[in-house]
Copies of this chain bind each other. A is one copy, B any other.
Amino acid sequence: MARLFHVPLSPYCRKVRLSLAEKKIEVELVEERYWEQDPDFLRRNPAGKVPVLRLDGQVMAESAAICEYIEETRPEPPLMPKKPEARYEVRRLVGWFDDKFHHEVTSRLLYERVNKKVTGEGYPDSKNVKAGAKAIKYHLDYMAWLLDHRRWLAGDQMTLADFAAAAHLSALDYISDVDWNRSQAVKDWYAKIKSRPAFRSILADQVPGFRPPPHYADLDF
């Protein structure tokens, strides 16, 4: 069986979990305290990060590379469109969320509030939290703008771009950092993706010391 070394609230791990679940690939989840840099773990991934996936007899790291590999070896159901222009747009948006959104929002909210506590690095820096809370508004508006003329973020089908975005937003929703009232279009999009069977394991996550808000796992939030 596939095995994923992960931490529950990592958006990169969640993106891989969503891909695996959507493709109906069974996986054993193993929580990895990657920040302790255990030598066994570093052998699996010299970059010292999660996710790390064991699949098809290989050990793989880097969530974008992993998701492309899953897509190439298990094309059904497709999480990438066929045309190069449309594939470009998916990859652009995956980069948008995993790079820009991560840098401006996730690292300033989730990492400040949760990771610092879990890894013993101390207290949240309120300047960062404030900047993250401001930046997420701009990103939600950008998503609303995309969804104004598209069914899903990258076009008419659900793709890895939706999973990348939902991975970040679901982790932030766990700590009540998403204002779902800002955009009906974004809320509807999230309700749609949240109700997929692939999302179940993510909605069942529990992080000791952090209790999610009641709406976190509610499909009619």
Chain A residues at the B interface, C-beta cutoff of 8 Å: 46-47, 56, 58, 60-62, 64-66, 68-69, 72-73, 84-85, 87-88, 91-92, 94-96, 99-100, 142
Interface secondary structure of A, over-half rule: helix
Q: Do A65 and B84 touch (CB < 8 A)?
A: no
Q: Do A88 and B66 touch (CB < 8 A)?
A: yes
Nearest first, the 7 A-B pairs at minimum CB distance are A65-B91, A62-B95, A69-B88, A72-B84, A65-B92, A62-B92, A73-B84
The minimal Cβ–Cβ distance linking A43 to chain B, given in whole angstroms, is 13
Chain B residues contacting A60 (CB-CB under 8 Å) are 88, 92
Q: List 29 A-B contacts (CB under 8 A).
A: A46-B142, A47-B96, A47-B100, A56-B85, A58-B85, A58-B88, A60-B88, A60-B92, A61-B92, A62-B91, A62-B92, A62-B95, A62-B99, A64-B64, A64-B91, A64-B95, A65-B88, A65-B91, A65-B92, A65-B95, A66-B88, A68-B87, A68-B88, A69-B87, A69-B88, A69-B91, A72-B84, A72-B87, A73-B84
